[in-house]
Amino acid sequence: NVELVPYEERVEVHWGYESVLVPQITCAKQALRSHATWKYLVNLVGQDFPLRTNMELVAALKALNGSNLVESVELGKFAFRTNNRPLPLKATWYKGSIYGAFRREFLHEAVMGTAVGPIRDLMLKPNYIRHPDEFFFPTLAYNSHLHLPGACLHSPAPRSEVDYNYLGKLVIWDYYNMTCSTKYVRDVCILGMDQVSLLQEAPHISANKFHADYQPEAYDEMERWYFRRVEAEMKSGSYDRRTFDPKVYANRLCSRHHI
């Protein structure tokens, strides 16, 4: 089930610029054009580790109740990255992770629809703003007057649902005021044995990041843990509700209040 982007659509990615966003849009378009049955797209990177089994992931996505799993915060100190450019369509800038779970209808409008085309064109304009990948999905998902499917009616997301508590991805950044007893690389805590218990109890979709040459025994332990649960599900026909409760996804503000 692996698909590759056609060679002519591949881009050289430069951190901080629109080339980071382009592959997300390209892959989303390919998924929208190629498959007729999927309901959500979850985007990941190669250094992510899945914390949810397939059955748990399905339960989590159903618990979103038709909303999108997208992080958003006000710009604050990151306002300079927009170069003080106003957004079209009277939209407000929001910032967050590029990674999440996107409802099919939302994604279609975000990457192919004409209604928000002016915002998409601005985000993809070469060298126009910095880090447009961190603005694209949050801005579209939290400006409810744009009427995208699953868009949140309250913006931005509550503080209790962002940063470490953002369910789309478990990442420990150095500004979270959390302990990182392993090491930081470019402000991100590299996961190791000290984080194994934390990861196994977390409700997030995935965790980032492991390095192959740093405490590989931690990754091995996580793999054993993951596949033990998969094996148990295959035998029982269901995920273990004692160790994963999808209500944490259902209780999100956006899961309860969205278009």
Q: What is the pLDDT of residue 46?
A: 86
Q: What is the pLDDT of residue 35?
A: 78
- In a domain, residue 47? The reply is yes
Q: Where are the beta strands (DSSP E) in the chain?
A: 40-42, 49-50, 101-103, 183-185, 188-190, 206-207
- In a domain, residue 57? The reply is yes
Q: From CA 116, how far away is CA 206, in angstroms rounded?
A: 29
Q: What is the pLDDT of residue 112?
A: 98
Total domains, the chain: 1
Q: What is the largest CA-CA distance in the chain?
A: 56
- In a domain, residue 1? The reply is no
Q: From CA 32, how far away is CA 148, in angstroms rounded?
A: 16
| pTM recorded for the entire structure | 0.96
Phi, psi for residue 72 in degrees, rounded to 5: -155, 140
Distance set, CA 182 to CA 173, 179, 187, 204, 226 (Å): 13, 9, 12, 21, 22
Give the pLDDT of the chain (259 residues) as one tens digit per residue: 789 999 999 999 999 999 999 999 999 999 999 877 999 999 999 889 999 999 999 999 999 999 999 999 999 999 999 999 999 999 999 999 999 999 999 999 999 999 999 999 999 999 999 999 999 999 999 999 999 999 999 999 999 999 999 999 999 999 999 999 999 999 999 999 999 999 999 999 999 999 999 999 999 999 999 999 999 999 999 999 999 999 999 999 999 999 9
- In a domain, residue 75? The reply is yes
Tokens of 45: 């990177």
Instruction: Using DSSP, state whether 164 is helix, strand or coil.
Output: helix
- Nearest to residue 159, comparing CAs of 64, 71, 70? 71
Q: From CA 153, how far away is CA 145, in angstroms rounded?
A: 9
Boundaries of domain holding 69: 7-256
